[in-house]
């Protein structure tokens, strides 16, 4: 009985490890542009560039639900040199790199998702940290705005005059625009236990686009203006997926 149980457990683990997915993925750099990235999958594709905080051409991905991202070792070392990211390299990535030194990141695909955004942040030793955002149409409806908190502090978002929502790191929610197609929002953040208002603003939402507002904390040059300054304690990124790219595989 014990032997049979162990067999079933190992079979379940093997099945989970080899789960296959088919979807569209967008690689977005959390920093400077990252060129020369490729995905290990059932299909063949040309190297792509993950653009800084914006979308480029989506990639069709078919393969294991743990996506492998590869890059030339010298390019990866240069791109991650000087990174202040202190996140440890995942043990699974370290183990796989022993056989595949061009493997620079792993991204776990959410079960059942047909569309994802993969944020790629420089880490250490020629590797990257990934954040996978589930953009399946059931999670990110067209014509609405999703707000995500990827900053290290708690924030509060008040949209269209409704009650403010407090958001811990990695929390998210979806809000419909007003009749004029705008979302009016107020952003505040937790400053040592006290709320501090950062801004009042508005954002247009196209009824045929997937739109998301990501709140984060970054020292990337992308957020530096022409005189070398930056506005606000927190930074914001708006990702817009146009109608022609919304379609799933």
**Same domain for 104 and 220?**
no
**Same domain for 149 and 220?**
yes
| Tokens 């202190």, residue located | 86
Query: Among residues 131, 199, 189, which one has the least CA distance to residue 155?
Result: 189
**Any idea how long the chain is?**
249
Domain finish residue from 106, 134, 162: 134
Return the pLDDT at 7: 43
Q: Are 47 and 139 in contact (CB under 8 A)?
A: no
**Same domain for 26 and 124?**
yes
**Same domain for 129 and 165?**
no
Domain finish residue from 73, 99, 134: 134
Q: How far is 207 from 244, CA to CA, in rounded Å?
A: 13
Token code pair at residue 214: 């990501």
Q: How far is 44 from 240, CA to CA, in rounded Å?
A: 27
Q: Are 211 and 181 in contact (CB under 8 A)?
A: no
When divided into structural domains, the chain yields a total of 2
Return the pLDDT at 44: 55
Domain hosting residue 98, numbered range = 2-134
Q: How far is 177 from 47, CA to CA, in rounded Å?
A: 37
Token code pair at residue 120: 């790629």
Extract the residue ranges of the chain whose pLDDT is less than 50: 1-3, 5-15, 42-43
**Same domain for 34 and 97?**
yes
Return the pLDDT at 72: 92
| Dihedral sign for Cα atoms in the order 59, 62, 66, 68 | negative
Query: Among residues 136, 131, 143, 195, which one has the least CA distance to residue 165?
Result: 195
The whole-angstrom distance between residue 185's C-alpha and the CA centroid of its chain comes to 22
In a domain, 139, yes or no: no
Element (H, E) at 11: helix 2-17
Q: What is the pTM of this model?
A: 0.86
Domain finish residue from 108, 134, 160: 134
**Same domain for 10 and 125?**
yes
Query: Among residues 108, 131, 105, 129, which one has the least CA distance to residue 118?
Result: 131
């Amino acid at each position: 009985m014990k032997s049979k149980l162990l067999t079933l457990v190992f079979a379940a683990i093997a099945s989970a490890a080899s789960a296959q997915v088919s979807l569209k993925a967008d690689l977005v750099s959390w920093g400077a542009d990252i060129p020369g990235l490729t995905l290990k999958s059932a299909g063949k594709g040309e190297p792509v560039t993950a653009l800084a905080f914006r979308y480029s051409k989506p990639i069709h991905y078919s393969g294991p639900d743990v996506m492998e991202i590869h890059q030339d070792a010298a390019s990866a070392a240069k791109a991650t040199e000087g990174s202040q990211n202190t996140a440890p390299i995942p043990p699974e990535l370290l183990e796989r790199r022993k056989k595949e030194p061009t493997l620079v990141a792993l991204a776990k695909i959410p079960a059942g998702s047909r569309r994802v955004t993969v944020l790629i942040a420089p880490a250490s030793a020629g590797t990257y940290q990934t954040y996978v955002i589930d953009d399946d149409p059931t999670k990110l409806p067209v014509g609405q705005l999703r707000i995500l908190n990827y900053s290290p502090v708690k924030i509060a978002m008040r949209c269209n005059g409704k009650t403010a929502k407090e958001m811990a790191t990695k929390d998210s929610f979806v809000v419909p625009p007003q009749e004029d197609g705008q979302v009016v929002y107020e952003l505040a953040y937790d400053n040592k236990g006290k709320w501090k208002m950062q801004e009042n603003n508005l954002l247009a939402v196209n009824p045929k686009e997937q739109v998301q507002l990501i709140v984060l904390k970054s020292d990337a040059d992308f957020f530096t203006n022409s005189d070398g300054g930056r506005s606000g304690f927190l930074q914001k990124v708006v990702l817009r997926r146009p109608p022609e790219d919304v379609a799933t595989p």
